[in-house]
Amino acid sequence: MLGSRSSAVVAAALFSLVLCSQVGFAVDSTAIARVVSEFHVEQRFSGTVLVAEGDRVIYEGGFGEADRTWHIPNRADTVFLVGSVSKQFTSMLILQLVAEGKLSLDDTLAKHLPDYPSDKAGITIHQLLCHGSGLPHYGSFHEIGIDLGDYLRLDRPVSSYVELIGKLKLRSAPGTEHYYSSMGYIVLAYIAEQVTGKSYGRLIEERIAGPLEVDDLGFAYNNQPVDRLAHGYEYEMRSLDDGSLELRYEPEGYRDQSNKYSTGGVHASVRALFKWARAVVSDRLLAPELRERMFTPQMDDYGYGWRIHPGDEWQLPEEVEVISHGGSLSGYQASIVIIDRGRYTIAVLGNSSSSRSGSVAQEIARVLYGDEPGPANILGTAIAWTMVRDGVEAGRSMFEREKKNGFPSYHNNDFAFYAYAETFAELERPDLGTALAELGLDAHPDSPMLHLGLALNHRVAGRVDSAVAAAEKALALIEAGGDDSGFVGRAARELVEELAAELTKAAA
């Protein structure tokens, strides 16, 4: 007899296969359905999936709800925000303008933004497309006195955002380093608008959605309704009045479309992404020479709006080429994958923070090449959720049980342990956070971020000396690794300084 978990997976798979039966596939898609169903049951995947072989759809499935108030299910025609998958539409528009002679890949910002600061005047269109411009990502706004949370909520004209980007300090000299920057793609779309005299949304409509004959792909501002758009949700922990915690879906936090714009604000369905994927590997939207330029890896395997990987990076045969991009916004997750220039296409769109669309796509790819998919569940996440539901001891017992077998049913990484340890500290539950960080350190003893997670919880519990020791251990491990530029190093140093100040004040 099936257990409740297995029954749930099978039921979800059978539900998704109802959609598959409508598309007339010849390939057995049971394995694909089971992969997605596992993510739905174990990781709360909510969204839609489409898998195709050439021009033929072999799997379509919808999971969870597009609207949790009215219980509207996700379907193959449900529309989602696609986050950074938007960048490939922006790159297509730019390359089309290059083909028409309205832009050149060697054009500099000095040509199109003559009043831009001198340190950025030499940045080229090519460098913006492949993230070699030296422009920073979102984390640099605090350097010019702007709170990122306020930035994300503001409705401001694109010209205002481009002006702000001009004030940001370059991370590196243009052309010397790959550094992923959404700021560059905002500048690109602004230039396209200036050159054509048309809005970004109109350019997508006229140059991409129209030729592809799709009505579920585009860009719209917050005051422009989008048919069949799924609501975005955060699957998160909340503290109740009695001090206990619960996991539940909450509507996404507000972010204005004016700053998602060309770097994250496009909407699409999986069916629209499939038509798009078929078009970009053909001559339908772009001539072969520029298409090859788009798919040619520059620094760090990034082309123009796409990542290009050898197959072994996806646990596929090495000779396989994987072209892909992911996207993540508050409440939305997206992934589009093109394997061997269209032999297979995978589109995964989700409307919850727990959807892990990229992981779903990667496991589906493994199935397509006859491999067994990896586990859907993440060890740190599963133990944290178990602690919330059943207490610390239940989490510890689960960890010890799985440890004896080498954790075969879980992805085991330190970040999940840290993320939930930090969350427990923020929710003032250091009993849970300390226990989770200690279990994480059992599995990852040399993880700086887990020592930081432990320090955060010691601090909340009032164990200042232990907090200092854990933070200093994090710093020592970082120093031994030779790189202290990341968020863990900054956070650990700040914590040590704050704790030292607290100790000095207490001694006075």
Instruction: Identify whether 405 is part of a domain.
Output: yes
What's the confidence (pLDDT) of residue 486? 67
Cβ-proximal residues to 438 (8 Å cutoff; 6+ apart), any chain: 454
Pair (44, 169) in one structural domain:
no
What's the confidence (pLDDT) of residue 63? 95
Q: Which domain holds residue 119?
A: 86-205
Pair (321, 357) in one structural domain:
yes
**Which of 205, 231, 264 represents a domain boundary (last residue)?**
205
Instruction: Give the model's confidence band at 100: pLDDT under 50 very low, under 70 low, under 90 confident, else very high.
Output: very high
**How far is residue 37's CA from residue 43's CA, in Å, rounded to a whole number?**
10
Pick from 64-78, 138-152, 382-396: least confident: 138-152
Instruction: Identify whether 136 is part of a domain.
Output: yes
pLDDT tens-digit series, residues 414-459: 999 999 999 999 999 999 999 999 999 999 999 999 999 999 999 9
Helices 86-99 and 182-196, packing angle to 10 deg: 40
Instruction: Identify whether 451 is part of a domain.
Output: yes
What's the confidence (pLDDT) of residue 246? 86
Instruction: Identify whether 500 is part of a domain.
Output: yes
The count of domains in the chain is: 3
Q: Please compute, for residue 72, the number of CA atoms within 13 A of its CA located in the half-sphere on the CB side.
A: 15
Instruction: Return the SS3 of 244.
Output: coil
Tokens of 57: 């759809």
**How far is residue 43's CA from residue 66's CA, in Å, rounded to a whole number?**
17
In terms of Cα–Cα distance, which of 363, 360, 361, 365 is closest to 373?
363
**How far is residue 105's CA from residue 107's CA, in Å, rounded to a whole number?**
6
**Which of 338, 368, 398 represents a domain boundary (last residue)?**
368
Tokens of 269: 């369905």
Pair (77, 221) in one structural domain:
yes
Pair (227, 363) in one structural domain:
yes
CA distances from 72 to 40, 230, 246, 337, 366 (A): 16, 9, 24, 27, 31
Mean pLDDT across the stretch 96-124? 97
Instruction: Identify whether 212 is part of a domain.
Output: no
Pair (397, 289) in one structural domain:
no
Pair (256, 163) in one structural domain:
no
**pTM for this one?**
0.85
Pair (405, 417) in one structural domain:
yes
Instruction: Identify whether 497 is part of a domain.
Output: yes
Pair (99, 65) in one structural domain:
no
Pair (239, 266) in one structural domain:
yes
Amino acid type, 304: Y
pLDDT tens-digit series, residues 297-356: 998 899 999 999 999 999 999 999 999 999 998 899 999 999 999 999 999 999 998 888
- Residue 244, classified by CB atoms within 10 Å of its CB into exposed (0-12), middle (13-18) or buried (19+), is exposed
Instruction: Identify whether 404 is part of a domain.
Output: yes
The enclosing domain of 306 has a CATH number of 3.40.710.10
Write phi, then psi, for 113 (nearest 5 degrees). -130, 70
Percentage of residues in the chain having pLDDT higher than 70: 93
Tokens of 481: 């690794």
Pair (23, 44) in one structural domain:
yes
Tokens of 290: 């520029």
**Which of 205, 227, 245 represents a domain boundary (last residue)?**
205
Pair (198, 241) in one structural domain:
no
**How far is residue 362's CA from residue 317's CA, in Å, rounded to a whole number?**
13
pLDDT tops 60 at residue 7: no
In the block, tokens 């798979």 appear at: 13
pLDDT tens-digit series, residues 178-209: 999 999 999 999 999 999 999 999 999 999 99
Instruction: Give the model's confidence band at 19: pLDDT under 50 very low, under 70 low, under 90 confident, else very high.
Output: very low
Pair (131, 257) in one structural domain:
no
pLDDT tops 60 at residue 214: yes
In terms of Cα–Cα distance, which of 179, 252, 215 is closest to 79?
215
Burial 44-79 (b: 16+ CB within 10 A, else e): bbbbbbbbbbeeebbbbbbbbbbebeeeeebbbbbb
Instruction: Identify whether 321 is part of a domain.
Output: yes
The enclosing domain of 466 has a CATH number of 1.25.40.10
